[in-house]
């Protein structure tokens, strides 16, 4: 009953992702028809189309895809870790931590690898703080505790995110004028400079693989700590793995596209409603649909008011906020 | 007493003291649970029934003493092996996300699944049988978040049945259950344990249910004292009245097998 449905859902998401990638390649100041796109991709001869598509649009589309997939997978992992569908790398301050780390590294003039390391460190500090403050939700023994936890968790995340925002403001105030504009654009979510999508794509594949190998245990973890231990899951080790993966995914996404919110919140929750909460299916779906969503948003961002470009973070928020409110009301209305 | 004499001893508890903070809940408990036995754990609120069950499951280290399952102390068991041998029903069920009843029960099969955690046809059969046993077959595709309290309790019980352990540790298994489902559950547990390879330990406040279905009893008093013995020895009106600090009696007449509070 379930296996064919899962295969169908993944096939749909895969088709959607391919369609959005093709749309991203065909859309722009120079519109390219699908047959022309195919000829440009298939032929080895250099042409204007081939240059535009392969050197400009393809790397950018793939970078957006990888970052969107990473953010959606990070969101799904955080939601399982905290057993709370409202958890998200952006809301809980992971992205803020990664952004602060990355900006701090930029301020010190460090190279790309060190920037990524600093972003990962910032994101990890955030996860660790959230988990520490919200640890009571793991040992909640009464129904009353469990109802109080989501609020407590969100308030903790908001406080952390505000703290990181203050730190980012401080870094911007200290930054020399020459690098200020670049930092600001990066903060708004900027794919303009994304030209090397391979590290992010490889990161997405690795994070997805490692998370997927633990997917069955993640399913058990959604039922609580004590139940998981009684069912043979090494809870502490699994939590550490999730924290490392979610922080790494957020850091990689943030250093690729800057701060982009909502992907980690909307995508896993929408997929849960559409396809259920089996992490073995949900995680690959998140990678595909998150990637498709951010690629689509970036295509809009660079084509709606062309030749001007909008920050992709703002486009995602315009799409994401109404979608999320719709999801919440729909969920409440279900029998 | 502390060395299992016969191979039929599933759980051997040896000089175990359990405490939370400064409080001692049970002191120097010695206990042997053999295959085929059904133990009820009775005691007033806060006397440590839940903590005892978690300790018996090997999920909590006792302050002193040791607990062995099948002759091997719990620390020598891997988490997964232990999960295939004993199941623990928690007092509270919580579902953070929606899931179908079938999937929620399938969680109980986790310790039996392969490395990559995909269920086999046998896992699905076990789930279907457990659903049937708990009268949930018609609800299999419903969302657990849309169920009533009693239906959720049956889902949790079905997951424990699907886990197919040798030792059942059930914390208030009949909570929220209507009478028909209480009887159906315990009649099935009797069938399972009569095969002699399985045993049951359950904590409850339903002393009549305990008297009807338990072969042995464990009475936990407020001061950490514990009495262990057969149901015939321990489940009398004087002892239960003292345990619950409320007078209980057996009304005379055709219903003489039940206890009733003397209001």
User: In this predicted complex, what is the ipTM?
Assistant: 0.92
Tokens for A31? Answer: 């519109």
Asked if A280 reaches chain B (Cβ–Cβ under 8 Å), the answer is yes
Q: How far apart are CA A269 and CA A45, in angstroms?
A: 44
Q: How close A334 gets to chain B, by Cα (Å)?
A: 9
From the list B59, B81, B103, the residue facing A226 with the nearest CB is B59
Task: Please report where in the chains the tokens 């809009």 appear, as a residue.
Answer: A300
Residue with tokens 């068991």: B77
Separation of CA A75 from chain center: 6
Residue B20 has pLDDT above 90, yes or no: no
- Provide the angle, in degrees to the nearest 10, between the axes of the packed helices A177-188 and A143-174: 150
For residue A193, what pLDDT is reported?
A: 59
What's the predicted TM-score (pTM) here?
A: 0.89
Question: What is d(CA A183, CA A103) in angstroms, rounded to the nearest whole number?
Answer: 7
pLDDT(A236) > 80: yes
Residue A38 has pLDDT above 80, yes or no: no
Class of domain A2-333: mainly alpha
Band the pLDDT of A69: cuts 50, 70, 90: very high
What pLDDT does residue A70 have?
Answer: 97
- Residue bearing the bigger pLDDT, B57 or A302: B57
pLDDT at A135 (0 to 100):
65
Q: Above 90 in pLDDT, residue B123?
A: yes
Range name among A128-132, B86-90, B131-135 with the lowest pLDDT average: A128-132
CB contact under 8 A, B80 and A232: yes
Distance from CA of B147 to the nearest CA of A (A): 10
Which of B90, B96, B107 lies closest to A220 in CB terms? Answer: B107
Which chain A residue is nearest to residue B89, measuring alpha carbons?
A: A227
Please provide residue A79's backbone torsions phi and psi, each rounded to the nearest 5 degrees. Answer: -65, -35
Residues in chain B closer than 8 A to A277 (CB atoms): 97-99, 103
Task: Tell me which chain B residue has its CA closest to the CA of residue A145.
Answer: B94
Output DSSP code: residue A55. Answer: I
Query: Quick check: A101 and A120 in contact, CB under 8 A?
Result: yes
**pLDDT level of residue A32 (50, 70, 90 thresholds):** confident
Do residue A142 and residue B92 have CB atoms under 8 angstroms apart?
A: yes
Which chain B residues have a beta carbon less than 8 Å from that of A2?
103
Residue B217 has pLDDT above 80, yes or no: yes
Q: How far apart are CA A142 and CA B73, in angstroms?
A: 31
Dihedral, A146, A151, A155, A158 alpha carbons, nearest 10 = 110
Q: Report the helix count and the strand count for chain A, using DSSP H and E.
A: 15, 0
Shortest distance, CA B95 to any CA of chain A (angstroms)? 6
Q: Which of A63, A44, A64, A61 is nearest to A53 (CA)?
A: A61
- Cβ-based neighbours of A204, under 8 Å, separated by 6 or more: A66, A69, A70, A73, A249, A252, A287, A291
For chain A, the domains span: 2-333
| Mean local confidence (pLDDT), B81-106 | 92
Distance CA(A290)–CA(A285), nearest Å, equals 8
Strand B199-203 to strand B216-220: parallel, antiparallel, or no bridges (unpaired)? unpaired
Mutate to test the interface with B, among A226, A231, A331 (most CBs of B within 10 A): A231
What is the rounded CA–CA span in Å between residue B80 and residue A270?
A: 33
User: Distance between CA atoms of B8 and A153, rounded to whole angstroms?
Assistant: 48
Mean pLDDT is highest, among A82-91, A258-267, B63-72, for: B63-72
Please give the domain boundaries of chain B with CATH numbers for all domains.
9-261 (3.40.50.300)
Residues of A in contact with B81 (CB under 8 A): 232
Q: For A328, what's the count of Cα atoms within 13 Å in the CB-facing half-sphere? A: 9
Cis omega before residue B40 (within 30°)?
A: no
Measured between CA atoms, how close is A228 to chain B, in angstroms?
Answer: 9
H or E element, residue A188: helix A177-188
Terminal CA-CA length for chain A: 23
Query: Which among B92, B110, B146 is the nearest to A143, CB-wise?
Result: B92
Q: Is the pLDDT of residue A142 over 80?
A: no
């Amino acid at each position: 009953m379930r296996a064919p449905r899962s295969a169908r859902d993944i096939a749909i998401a895969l088709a959607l992702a391919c369609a959005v990638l093709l749309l991203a390649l065909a859309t722009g100041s120079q519109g390219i028809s699908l047959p022309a796109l195919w000829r440009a991709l298939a032929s080895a001869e250099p042409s204007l189309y081939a240059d535009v598509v392969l050197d400009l649009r393809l790397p950018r589309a793939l970078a957006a895809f990888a970052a969107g997939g990473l953010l959606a997978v990070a969101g799904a992992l955080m939601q399982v870790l905290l057993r709370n569908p409202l958890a998200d790398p952006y809301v809980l301050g992971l992205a803020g931590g990664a952004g602060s780390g990355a900006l701090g590294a930029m301020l010190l003039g460090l190279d790309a690898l060190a920037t990524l390391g600093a972003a990962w460190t910032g994101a990890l500090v955030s996860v660790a703080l959230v988990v520490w403050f919200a640890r009571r939700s793991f040992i909640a023994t009464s129904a009353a505790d469990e109802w109080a936890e989501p609020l407590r968790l969100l308030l903790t995340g908001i406080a952390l995110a505000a703290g990181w925002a203050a730190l980012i403001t401080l870094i911007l105030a200290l930054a020399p004028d020459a690098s200020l504009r670049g930092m600001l654009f990066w903060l708004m979510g900027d794919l303009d400079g994304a030209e090397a999508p391979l590290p992010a794509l490889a990161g997405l594949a690795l994070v997805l693989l490692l998370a997927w190998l633990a997917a069955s245990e993640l399913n058990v973890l959604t039922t609580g700590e004590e139940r998981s231990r009684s069912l043979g899951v090494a809870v502490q080790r699994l939590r550490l793995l999730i924290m490392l993966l979610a922080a790494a995914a957020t850091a990689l996404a943030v250093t690729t596209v800057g701060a982009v919110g909502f992907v980690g919140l909307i995508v896993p929750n929408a997929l849960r409603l559409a396809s259920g909460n089996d992490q073995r299916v949900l995680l690959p779906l998140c990678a595909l649909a998150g990637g498709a969503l951010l690629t689509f948003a970036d295509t809009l961002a660079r084509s709606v008011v062309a030749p001007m470009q909008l920050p992709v973070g703002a486009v995602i928020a315009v799409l994401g906020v109404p979608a999320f409110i719709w999801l919440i009301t729909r969920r409440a209305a279900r029998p | 007493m502390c060395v299992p004499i016969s191979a039929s001893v599933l759980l051997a508890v040896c000089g175990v003291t359990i405490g939370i903070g400064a409080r001692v809940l049970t002191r120097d408990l010695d206990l042997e649970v053999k295959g085929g036995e059904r133990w009820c754990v009775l005691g007033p609120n806060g006397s440590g029934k839940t903590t005892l069950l978690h300790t018996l499951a090997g999920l909590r280290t006792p302050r002193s003493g040791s607990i062995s399952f099948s002759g091997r102390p719990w620390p020598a068991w891997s988490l997964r092996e232990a999960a295939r041998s004993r199941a623990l029903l928690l007092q509270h069920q919580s579902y953070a996300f929606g899931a179908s009843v079938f999937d929620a029960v399938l969680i109980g099969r986790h310790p039996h699944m392969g490395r990559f955690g995909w269920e086999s046809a046998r896992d699905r059969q076990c789930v279907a049988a457990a659903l049937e046993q708990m009268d949930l077959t018609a609800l299999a595709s419903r969302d657990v978040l849309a169920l009533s309290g009693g239906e959720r309790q049956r889902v949790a019980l079905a997951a424990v049945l699907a886990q197919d352990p040798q030792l059942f540790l059930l914390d208030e298994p009949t909570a929220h259950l209507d009478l028909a489902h209480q009887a159906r559950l315990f009649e099935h547990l009797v069938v399972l344990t009569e095969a002699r390879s399985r045993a049951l330990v359950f904590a409850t406040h339903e002393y009549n249910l305990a008297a009807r279905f338990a072969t042995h009893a464990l009475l936990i008093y407020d001061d950490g004292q514990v009495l262990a013995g057969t149901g015939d020895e321990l489940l009398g009106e004087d002892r239960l009245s003292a345990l619950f600090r409320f007078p209980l009696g057996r009304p005379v007449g055709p219903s003489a097998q039940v206890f009733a509070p003397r209001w």
